[in-house]
Amino acid sequence: MTSKEQYSADYIELSINENNDNDEPPDNNSHKQEPDCQPTTALLTDQDNSSEEDFIIYESGTSKTTAPKHENSLAIQALPSLIISVIGLVFAGDLMDEFQHWDVFLKTTELFILLPILLNLKGNLEMNLAARFSTSSNLGELDYGPTRRSLIVGNLALLQVQSLVAGAIAGVASFALGLITKPGSSTSYYEMMFMTSSAMVSASFSAGILGIFMCALILICRRFDVDPDNIACPMASSTGDIVTLVLLATCATILQNEMESILSTIIFIIMLSMIPFFGFIVWRNTHVKGLLFAGWTPIILAMVISSLAGILLEAYVEQYKGVALLTPVLIGLAGNLGSIYASRISTCLHAETKENYKVVEYTLLAMNVPVQMVFLLIIWAFGMGQLQYNIWFFLSYFIISMVCTWICLKIGKLMTLMFWKMGYDPDNYVIPYLTASIDVVGTILLVATFRALTTTGATDMALETVKAAAAAAAAASATAT
């Protein structure tokens, strides 16, 4: 029996700084002789889970430093989930387009501010859960009954605490932004309670549904020998947006009729009282106790960073065709591919195995092409986005999608190794920063590309309203002269 060892500092530094042909961590045999063994999928702990020390059984016959399992089947396992995630993103966009005509959204326009904030916060929380649970699965922690039950209960309770707090933050922030952007509008205490209670209820129910779904999905992956690192994050991203959208629209519609009553306040108090209840469950769970007050900084900062992308998107969405349709898929797919990579590296760091960086990077980068082709085929078949499909559009979009994916993969690798070196669990810190960064980068690249295509005359991406405004301005100028 051999105790677990932490990666040495030179391992991390060489992994980050060196760019040799292998792009693999160096062998640590020069530091300490290790047995020719690797961990099995069995993790032995005490039944009451009170022991803080993990014991891993090693089997001889294979090298402990071999590449992670399922590396060769990465594309086969990840491709279906990525295609599903793109379909989910398109469907979520259609839902948002449908909901904007609902009476509750027309009367309470602050809901349009609430949607992206809430989706960003909830999406990061659920993807963090998927990454944590995938690591636990690959370490064998889900194979032992008491440990599995403790991990499931603890993570679901933690997700409830995080979602309720995120819902409260999103509700108050969207109400405040509504006051700032529309200083002359009439608002009230009841409207703030309506916004906050709607966000908290939808966030809590969404967390329950998606948390159970993600735990079940990862357990099924474990049962059928599928690496959850390859599918969990994309599935969490796509299903999370749809479920949260539907629940928010439903809750807001139900509460709208009682907006001027104390019903929203009562619901807010009930939701608020659930935070210490679930927090107590988390506090008593040794597996997730340390996460109760950790990991909030990246979640909040990611929301702020993504807001910059939202401001940029709002400024150009009415100027160029297809920006609102293409942006979520462009940044969403790149973020999913980067999350898969970061989750795999994190699992390898926890398990003390090597990741074949170049093989995985090239595989994930290549997978971007067929998934984007499926997406373009869908929007072309249904005539979505009012886009002009020619060689310049396809070429430009594929180039920026590949650039976004490459940047996301590199950022994901760098952040994962850096956070591990600093003593933080990458499963709780990397994904929020990663997705927020690619939100800004992807939006800037798409807008810049559309402007270049329109300016050079290669493809006319300007909307008719912009053309009409330009023509009117030109006519007015000619008349004045």
Q: Do residues 275 and 314 both lie within one domain?
A: no
Q: Do residues 284 and 319 both lie within one domain?
A: no
Identify which of 384, 405, 394 has the alpha carbon closest to the alpha carbon of residue 333.
405
Q: Do residues 391 and 435 both lie within one domain?
A: yes
CATH number of 417's domain = 1.10.357.20
Q: Do residues 93 and 35 both lie within one domain?
A: no
- Is pLDDT larger for residue 370 or for residue 22? 370
Q: Do residues 241 and 323 both lie within one domain?
A: no
Q: Do residues 339 and 231 both lie within one domain?
A: no
Q: Residue 196 belongs to what domain range?
A: 76-293
Could you report the per-residue pLDDT of 383-438, keeping only the tens digit for each? 776 777 788 888 899 999 999 999 999 999 999 999 999 999 999 999 999 998 99
Tell me the two tokens of residue 236.
């969490």
Confirm whether 187 is domain-assigned: yes
**Predicted local confidence at residue 368, as pLDDT:** 94
**Predicted local confidence at residue 273, as pLDDT:** 95
Confirm whether 48 is domain-assigned: yes
**Predicted local confidence at residue 50, as pLDDT:** 36
Looking at residues 445-472, what average pLDDT do you find?
73
Confirm whether 65 is domain-assigned: no
Q: Do residues 259 and 304 both lie within one domain?
A: no
Q: Do residues 455 and 411 both lie within one domain?
A: yes
Q: Do residues 355 and 388 both lie within one domain?
A: yes
Confirm whether 228 is domain-assigned: yes
**Predicted local confidence at residue 463, as pLDDT:** 66
From 19-28, 76-85, 362-371, 388-397, the region with the lowest mean pLDDT: 19-28
Confirm whether 70 is domain-assigned: no
**Predicted local confidence at residue 279, as pLDDT:** 95
Exposure on the CB side of residue 289, measured as CA atoms within 13 A: 9
Determine how many CB atoms are found less than 10 A away from the CB of residue 467.
11
Confirm whether 358 is domain-assigned: yes
Torsion of CA 174, 122, 154, 3, to 10 degrees: -120
Q: Dihedrals φ, ψ of 41, to 5°? A: -85, 10
What percent of the chain has pLDDT above 70?
79
Q: Do residues 133 and 214 both lie within one domain?
A: yes
- Is pLDDT larger for residue 347 or for residue 21? 347
Confirm whether 71 is domain-assigned: no
- Binned at pLDDT 50, 70 and 90, residue 161 comes out as very high
Q: Do residues 419 and 283 both lie within one domain?
A: no
- Binned at pLDDT 50, 70 and 90, residue 473 comes out as low
Q: Do residues 221 and 312 both lie within one domain?
A: no
Structural domain total, the chain: 3
